[in-house]
Amino acid sequence: MSIAPLDATERFRARFPSLKDTVHLASCSQGAASEHVLTALQEFQWSMRSQGAPWGAWMAQVDAARAAFAAHIGAQPDEIAVVGCASEGAYQVASTLDWSRRPGLVTTDMEFPSIAHVWLAQERRGARVRHVPEREGIVPAEDYTAAIDDSTNLVSVPLVSYRNGARLPVAETVRAAHAVGARVFVDAYQGLGVLPVDVRELDCDYLVCGALKYLLGVPGIAFLYVRGGLRDDVDPQLTGWFGRVDPFGFDPRSLDFPDTARRFETGTPSIPSAYAAAAGLRTLADVDPKDIEAHVGALTTYAHTRLTEIGETPASPADPELRGPQVAITDPAPDALAAELAERRIVTSPRGTLLRISFHYYNTPSDVDALIDALGEIRAQ
């Protein structure tokens, strides 16, 4: 892997106004705001000012975001449900499964709590949740596959762990789950946008991702991929008018569900978030995903090496093949450290006992150098 040519990254970087005075190393929490997204949000505001209630135009933006996300992961638009957040997508999936028939639900301690809590809540419906523990910051493929058996109904595996940026063994887990007739749910929030994903190659049954992080949007919207042809054990338990065969039929006495992923939708989606999501995905569409992956992979390796050289303790895997777009370091007070870095216009993301440092295609080696210099000043104090 190699860092992208300067002109390629600089052209991409130039689309993000804040990067003129800020080092943005927090894409694992919120991606930097591109001029495309800022313009799209202004367009939404102007649509309200000039047209009042242009619902046709607003729904077109929702459909544009749906189609752009589908194209980004190699899916069809009808396989994408627009939901409010990843937790909602997880609940929609869990609510359609019959846990009395096959009670097994395999997850991991490295799952983001918001998703993990949805799985735990299914125990009231008969699910038996089994957690695969981490081993020295990773989850080996053999540990995941060993937890899957004939009683397993759903296997949840993150693409990348939110905590330390470790990649999870998704492909191996999908094969093991499908071998016993179980379905697989992938939380792609911490990698999609910098790691190429083709759901046909991955062969997962469900995949969820919000728009605000590496997809360069804003909070308030997420996308749930549901493999075409899947049949639910029971109908989705959370529903609304967008989950109907004809949402504009306005029949309060009829409850039907389309065969497409739209059966998982509920009420009116966040329109401003749809504008931003479509714009963020358009920004990403201008770059080859493999180029993004290679560039970010080189940056995380450079960061891991330099952090180790100055005496920091990386909590992320040393092996680049096991590491996503993030390097995390241990610190007794990561929130305070993040605040000191923010005073120097370096944006990071603390979580628990770790300071997370994440990269996108707009980052350069100079961003890593600025972080290292700042950490040196702070530690010297």
Query: Looking at residue 234, which CATH number applies to its domain?
Result: 3.40.640.10
pLDDT at 1: 47
Of 218, 252, 284, the one marking the end of a domain is 284
Of 269, 284, 299, the one marking the end of a domain is 284
User: Which residues of the chain are under the pLDDT cut of 70?
Assistant: 1-6
User: Are 306 and 326 members of one domain?
Assistant: yes
User: Are 235 and 371 members of one domain?
Assistant: no
pLDDT at 364: 96
pLDDT at 50: 97
Residues 6+ apart with CB under 8 A from 80: 66, 69, 70, 223, 224, 225, 226, 261
Other Cβ atoms less than 10 A from the Cβ of 222: the count is 28
User: Are 167 and 140 members of one domain?
Assistant: yes
User: Are 18 and 108 members of one domain?
Assistant: no
Instruction: Classify 63 as helix, strand or coil.
Output: helix
**Is-contact 181 204, C-beta < 8 A?**
no
pLDDT at 76: 98
Instruction: Classify 353 as helix, strand or coil.
Output: coil
pLDDT at 6: 65
What is the total count of domains within the chain?
Answer: 2
40 located within any domain: no
User: Are 273 and 293 members of one domain?
Assistant: no
Q: What percent of the chain has pLDDT over 70?
A: 98
pLDDT at 8: 82
Instruction: Classify 206 as helix, strand or coil.
Output: strand
pLDDT at 289: 95
Report the C-alpha gap between 233 and 281 in whole angstroms: 33
81 located within any domain: yes
Report the C-alpha gap between 245 and 256 in whole angstroms: 6
Of 239, 260, 284, the one marking the end of a domain is 284
250 located within any domain: yes
Other Cβ atoms less than 10 A from the Cβ of 326: the count is 29
pLDDT at 381: 85
pLDDT at 3: 65
pLDDT at 316: 95
Report the C-alpha gap between 21 and 7 in whole angstroms: 19
